[in-house]
Amino acid sequence: MIRRPTTRDVAKEAGVSLATVDRVLNARPGVRESTIRRVTEAIERLEYVRDPAATALSRDRFYRFLFLLPSEGSTFIQSLGEKVRDAASGPEGARTNVEIEYVPMLDGPGLVSALDRVTLDKWDGVALVGTDAPTVSDAIDRAVARGVQIVTLVSDVPGSARGHYVGIDNVAAGRTAASLLGRFIGGERGVVQIVLGSVLLRDHVERRFGFEQVLRTEFPHLELAPVIEGFEDNTLTEREIGALLHSEVNLKGIYVAGGGKQGVIAALRRFDKPTGVRTIAHEATSHSKSALMAGYFDAVLNQDPGHETRSAIRVLKCLIEKTPIYFDQERIRIDIFLRDNML
């Protein structure tokens, strides 16, 4: 096992006392510029990174984190709450109080109201599934101005003052879906349908952008149909896809970029999935896994909700303690599942 460098190692490398290293790390006064430079250079040489949990223990500190999650939506979104509770009871949750508040899906005013109730005397940090609306961005800015650290989870609000986004690169995910779907379809001409949960969700919009980018440039023989926005409603999505399957004889592919997967599966099952229609969806939930094994889905792109919730807790601690974020550790990967690697 490789031993991580400690403050004692930094002090020895820089030729200073432990107290001096502590003053430099916490930006306290009374340290000469030349000494600060020596300590900083030692930190860089040793690749020393502060451990927020150890810092909290040394200060006898508890962190208080709130997760604002949608109260309904896809199976994946619902699983986030379970993964938050798992993370809170694991190593990341040491000396940390984690609570969950549920907000109705796509309810911008509800999310704004929840954020405006967040104050520093109760919460140190908040992780939230973002809705890309100016009012939500403003509410995040107000919370940050009150001293609360904010990270966005799964769906980003990039124009806000949030400290970090925890989730996959959704443009890359959309590009990956288009590359796979184009290869599955081959050289046949036809129509491809994109299904979004909502244009208010940044992750869905970015996936669409990446998908269209690749499909138009690399598979110009495939025509994009007008986007279906299912509003995370499986019944509505089933009705829309059913009508599409009934009317579009040249349909070659479906990309489910967001919610409504169960509705898509129900429509494909009702029509016994017409031959030649390839389908790609997101999130390896029980429903999408079953659809993959049954042949209704051809590929599923996945992000690990457990990794995301653990990462959100770690990142919030780093933001509070002003310690570096391990970007390689916190990068959320895009996993590709086929029938062949689901077992």
**pLDDT for res 126:** 98
**pLDDT for res 186:** 95
- 102 Cβ contact list (under 8 Å, min separation 6): 69, 70, 71, 81
CA pair distance 43, 6, nearest whole angstrom: 10
The superfamily in CATH containing domain 170-302 is Response regulator (3.40.50.2300)
DSSP state of 225: P
Is residue 192 within 8 A of residue 257, CB to CB? The reply is no
Task: Tell me whether the CATH fold assigned to 7-47 matches the one assigned to 170-302.
Answer: no
**pLDDT for res 2:** 57
Tokens 């004692």 found at: 8
| Nearest CA-CA partner of 125 in 81, 69, 77, 67 | 67
Domain boundaries, the chain: 7-47, 62-168+305-333, 170-302
The class of domain 62-168+305-333 in CATH terms is alpha beta
The superfamily in CATH containing domain 7-47 is lambda repressor-like DNA-binding domains (1.10.260.40)
Q: What is the pTM of this model?
A: 0.81
| Nearest CA-CA partner of 173 in 64, 286, 301, 312 | 301
Q: Look up residue 227 and give its two tokens.
A: 């986007």
Average pLDDT across each block of 10 residues of the chain; the chain has 343 residues. List them in order: 77 90 76 88 80 57 91 80 90 87 88 95 94 94 96 95 97 98 96 94 95 97 96 93 93 93 94 85 93 94 95 94 82 94 75
CA pair distance 39, 337, nearest whole angstrom: 47
